[in-house]
Structure 1
Amino acid sequence: MAKEELKRDLKNRHVQLIAIGGTIGTGLFLGSGRAIQLAGPSIIFSYLIIGISLFFVMRALGELLLSNAGYTSFTEFASEYIGPWAGFVTGWTYWFCWIMTAMADIIAVGVYMQYWFDIPQWIPALACLVILLCLNLLTVKLFGELEFWFSLIKVVTIIALIVIGVVLLVIGFKTNTGTVSVTNLWSHGGMFPNGVSGFLLSLQLVVFSFVGVELVGVTAAETANPKKNIPSAINKIPVRILLFYIGAIFVILCVNPWTQLNAASSPFVEVFALIGIPVAAGIINFVVLTSAASAGNSGLFSTSRMLFTLSNNNEAPAKFAKLNKHAVPSNALITSTVVVSIGALLSKVIPEQAFTVVTTISAICFIWVWSIILISHIRYTKTRPDLRAVSTFKAPFTPFINYIVLGLFLFILIVMLFAEATRLSLLMTPFWFILLVILYNYQKNK
């Protein structure tokens, strides 16, 4: 029986905006306040270092995907260049990453809706999940449209923040916390007010901010012109990082000294409120709501496609490879949605610390996925010099830069081991990989 294939219905504008959505994670809106409190103004360097590193990961991913038109995701080249176990473990780990992330984002939707409606948060959370499921079941093109508009809202908000901030900077606008000035970057304890340790501890939070940057690779099988659209989306990542991350954080720290920012709230809300926009809280609440819905939407898309790929590779039940009449892997999509909904309901009674544990585990697992991409690329350059020679999208500085980025990822994990807030998550995560190794060996010996 021939394998069913996904439709290539994602156009260039969809891929571009999915890439933007991936490089503007909810961590920028929700987690940057805490990251700023840890690192102070040096958080700019954290975003720059992680952003540049992930650009090289994406260049490696792009070259690998385009080296074989049959690849539908990174699990397939992981199996080919590292071994079948790597494809199995990475595929299920990526599914797990997005399940965890989607749980957190759907819960966040419920919390944000409480700003306007006094109802239990699980009601809007599940309602949002059902709506996203229904829309995703229709066509992949509709997923592309959803992400296009979700990402556009994020982009417009950040550009508005940057433009307003630059104007305030030029005119020397005065707020109740002082004058808007570049000197706010170093006038409150210097660029590293909490020392090198604060800067290092912020790296994990910044990693979570970039979760989803590899989504452009998951869309490869459903992109109309991958040889044109994927390189175009990947090559624009540095500009997006400079504009959306560095630019936004720079403006926030110039408008409001880092010492005045609240770790528990969004610095975007605080800046708009400071400059006298009365509806600022409502506007930004809507933006972070759509950002969380966008992340949940991406989670359902990526988990369903990963189950589809695993099933096609005989690493998951055959029913997950079944496509509906719209060429959407409906069984995989519904299964992922059910798992996310159970997590959302359970999370209603879990303390706040559990949210940190879930997102930290997600970040650790994403580091695994990104590392597998880099290792696969190293193996590809060594074992397939013929493909490397004819590649039209060669990753630069290979393999030297691959080893540098892998070293950085290892260093971040070591830092997480010494940080009290992340130690538990790091120590819990190996159990997931042990479980996968057991399942892989069971499946192999059947």
Structure 2
Amino acid sequence: MSDTQIPDAPDSARRTADGGHHDAGDNGYSKQLKPRHMSMIAIGGAIGTGLFLGAGGRLAETGPSLALAYAICGIFAVLIVRALGELVVHRPSSGAFVSYAREFMGEKGAYTAGWLYFLLWAVTGIADITAAATYAHFWSAFTSVPQWTLALIALCVVLATNLISVKYFGEMEFWFSVVKVSALVIFMGVSVFLIATRHPIDGHTPGLGSITGHGGLFPSGVLPMMLVMQGVVFAYAGLELSAVAAGETANARSVVPKALNSIMWRIGVFYVGSLVLLSLLLPHTAYSAGQSPFVTVFAKLGVPGAAGIMNLVVLTAALSSLNSGLYSTGRILRSMAMAGSAPRFTARMNKGKVPYGGILLTASFGVLGVVMNYFVPTEAFDIVLNFASFCILATWGMIMLCSLLFWRRSQRGLVHRPVYRLPWAPYSQIVTLLFLLAVLVLMCADGGVGTRTAMAMPVVAAALVGGWFLTRRRVAAIAAGGRRPGDGHAAGAAELPAGTAGDSDRER
């Protein structure tokens, strides 16, 4: 094999003596995440900035039909997570879908999936610190503090806590999720009471009149509801976090399915249910892009301190999302670095077995978010949201392609599908891919920020192609035997476990 020839076929993946795939990026992690951590991480991944902050502006734009958009996108989000869950049960890996792309699509597929996912969380981190700074301005003590300063503080605090150990990450996400879920449960309980008793809110009586008396289900027409789906897709980013965390929990094959099985009702209750209640409580014109809709309700309700408490909750959600992004990209980048397609320093781990190199690389992009909050504080969230929407569409597309290829290999008898699987394959994968393509087209057709984001996609594609040509020699060298000509140990690679060959051809 020449030093630039990269094995792309599935048979080129490294395999253990029993024929299973092995990813060197899975070595070195501690198994400190417990079932309760995994369960709450799965819940927390489904509740983030896209709901707590982004829903305000989208409600004002599309009205009650936003709940329908969330329901439609939620169905496909469930299919994607179910497909990813099947792959996790097939083989748990901290590299998650990047590792699966390597197994079924070769190194080019892993490279593409990994860097798109990195871009997703890099720009989502910008959205999160922007949201955190926006929430902080709710309190009078912070109104005089520049938004970029608050964004910088949020980034530094979360970065510091993320670098300790996976155990602390799990505990932090556990309690973040407890706070978010508890707040939503309380909100929904209070909302049902207000609607049932028709208790006035800022002079308005909640109920169906909030919908029928203000333009109906589609006050601005059907098209705005369709166009807003790009932002709705962003709200579901994070559902794949459980798959990344699977590599750091014991008994992942039994723990992960239990954590993922409840996603359907979580989406129905927390997302769709909350939006229906918000639409019944107040007219859609009462909400705005600059404030969380949950805070709007409690502020207009006039309960002393209620709005401040809810604002603290949504601030927690933003910090939780940022924490999750740093965690997941650190693991993804390490998986790529061990294969040679990411910078070598991203493979480094500290004494707490945390891949700090990848975490620091992702956090460095947060500095860009601080700059954006300095120059364009009012547009920063919308700009990065649209770019992140493209990245999550691409990431989900890669997941479904891996699932489809896995299904095809199972039909050839090369792998066995586990009991926990994506139903209705291969139609589920095909329909989901068509849906993601339709959302991408809608994003390109949308005016303003959406169109400008679409115009940036060729730049992203060119960067990916250029990066591949810069790294392909190192990838080929590691795939051929773990060393790059003229270098020492390649890419910080760890020794493979006993029984693992340098490439599959030796085993086969």
TM-score range, shorter chain: over 0.9
| SS of the residue 1:420 aligns to | coil
Alignment of 1:45-444 (within 5 A): 45-69=68-92, 72-114=95-137, 115=139, 116-117=141-142, 118-350=144-376, 352-385=378-411, 386=413, 389-421=416-448, 422-444=450-472
Tell me the distance in 2 between the aligned counterparts of 1:11 and 1:445. 39
1:131: how far off?
Answer: 2.5
Between 425-434 and 171-180, report the one with greater CA deviation: 171-180
Q: What amino acid is the match of 1:362?
A: A
Give the 3 Å change call, closer, same or farther, for CA 30–390 of structure 1 in structure 2: closer
The residue that corresponds to 1:19 in the other structure is 42
Structure 1 residues 354 and 125: alpha-carbon distance in aligned structure 2, compared to 1, 3 A threshold: closer
AA in 2 matched with 1:322: R
Gaps of 5+ in 1: none
The structure-2 alpha-carbon separation of the partners of 1:95 and 1:157, relative to structure 1 and needing over 3 Å to count, comes to same
Structure 1 pair 354–259 and aligned structure 2 pair: CA distance change class (3 A):
closer
Q: Is the 8 A contact 2:227 2:443 kept in 1?
A: yes
1:351 deviates by 5.2
Q: 1:188 is paired with a residue of what secondary structure?
A: coil
Percent identity of equivalent pairs: 35
Give the distance between the partners of 1:255 and 1:345, measured in 2 at CA.
Answer: 37
SS at match of 1:127: helix
Deviation string 1:234-276 (CA, Å, 9 cap, x unpaired) is 1111111111111111111111122333343221112112333
Residues 387 and 28 of structure 1: CA distance in aligned 2, closer, same or farther (over 3 Å) = farther
- Helix, strand or coil: the match of 1:316? coil
Secondary structure, in 3 states, of the residue corresponding to 1:96?
helix
Taking structure 1 as reference, are residues 153 and 69 closer, same or farther at Cα in structure 2, changes over 3 Å only? closer
Aligned partner letter, 1:144: G
AA matched with 2:438: F
Q: Which moved more, 1:175-184 or 1:355-364?
A: 175-184
**TM-score, normalising length: structure 2:** 0.83
Which residue matches 2:13?
A: none
Contact 1:177/1:260 (<8 A) preserved: no
* Residue number among 55, 61, 64 corresponding to 1:38 in the alignment: 61
CA distance in 1, matches of 2:135, 2:289: 17
- Report how far residue 390 of structure 1 moved: 4.7
Q: Deviations over 1:256-308 (max 9, x none)?
A: 12233334322111211233312233122211211111111112112211211
Q: 1:38·1:201 contact (CA, 8 Å) conserved in 2?
A: no
Structure 1 partner of 2:489: none
Cα distance in 2 for residues equivalent to 1:343 and 1:42:
31
Instruction: State the distance in 2 between where 1:330 and 1:56 align.
Output: 32
Cα deviations by residue, 1:314-341 (Å, 9 ceiling, x for unpaired) = 1113332222111111222223223323
Unaligned runs of 5+ in 2: 1-23, 475-508
AA in 2 matched with 1:406: L
Between stretches 195-204 and 51-60, larger displacement belongs to: 195-204
The CA deviation at 1:127 is: 2.9
Larger radius of gyration: 2
Measure how far apart 1:71 and its partner are: 6.3
- Higher alpha-carbon deviation: 332-341 or 252-261: 332-341
How does the TM-score come out when normalised to structure 1? 0.94
Measure the CA separation in 1 of the matches of 2:272 and 2:210: 15
Question: Structure 1 residues 193 and 376 mapped into 2: Cα distance closer, same or farther (>3 Å)?
Answer: same
Instruction: Look up the equivalent residue of 1:396 and give its one-letter code.
Output: P
Partner Cα distance (1:160, 1:405) in 2 = 34
